[in-house]
Structure 1
Amino acid sequence: MKTYTKQQLALRNGQDKPEIWVAYKGHIYDVTESRLWRNGKHYEHWAGQDLTDELEDAPHTEAVFGKFSTIGILII
């Protein structure tokens, strides 16, 4: 699987490039087609970043990421 840096992930924020990606636990997910991530924003969360630490405040579990394609691995 392809690897991406945090800087490359940050460009997939719904503004700089047409892709909308988020990371969780080292995996990068493509949320471009999700109506909940239009324009790179999902409630108070922004695309193009690692959401691992933010999930505990979400009203859903990590199972939500099963709806999306894993497109890469986040390297630190």
Structure 2
Amino acid sequence: MTEFTRNQLALRNGNDREEIWIAYRGVIYDVTHSKLWRNGKHYEHWAGQDLTDELPDAPHDTKVFEKLQVIGKLVK
């Protein structure tokens, strides 16, 4: 699996590059084509970040990630 740093993830925020990525539990997902992530924003969440700590506040569970394409692994 391809590895990406937090800085590389941050560039995929919907503004700096065309790709829109998010991370959860060390896995990076592509949300570029999701209608819920237009312009890199999903409610009060921003793309290009690790959202692991934010999921407990979400109205959905981890099954939402099963529908997303895995891009790679988040490394420190």
Q: Which residue of 1 aligns with 2:44?
A: 44
1:26 Cα offset (Å):
0.3
Unaligned runs of 5+ in 2: none
Q: Which residue of 1 aligns with 2:63?
A: 63
**Which residues of 2 match residues 1-76 of structure 1 at below 5 A?**
1-76=1-76
User: Tell me, what secondary structure is at the counterpart of 1:50?
Assistant: coil
Aligned-residue RMSD, C-alpha: 0.3
1:32 Cα offset (Å):
0.3
- Give 4+ residue runs of structure 1 displaced > 2 Å after superposition: none
Mapped to 2, the partners of 1:51 and 1:63 lie a distance apart of 14
What letter matches 1:11 in structure 2?
A: L
1:13 Cα offset (Å):
0.1
TM value normalised by structure 2: 0.99
TM value normalised by structure 1: 0.99
What letter matches 1:69 in structure 2?
A: Q
1:35 Cα offset (Å):
0.2
Aligned residue-pair number: 76
Mapped to 1, the partners of 2:4 and 2:66 lie a distance apart of 20
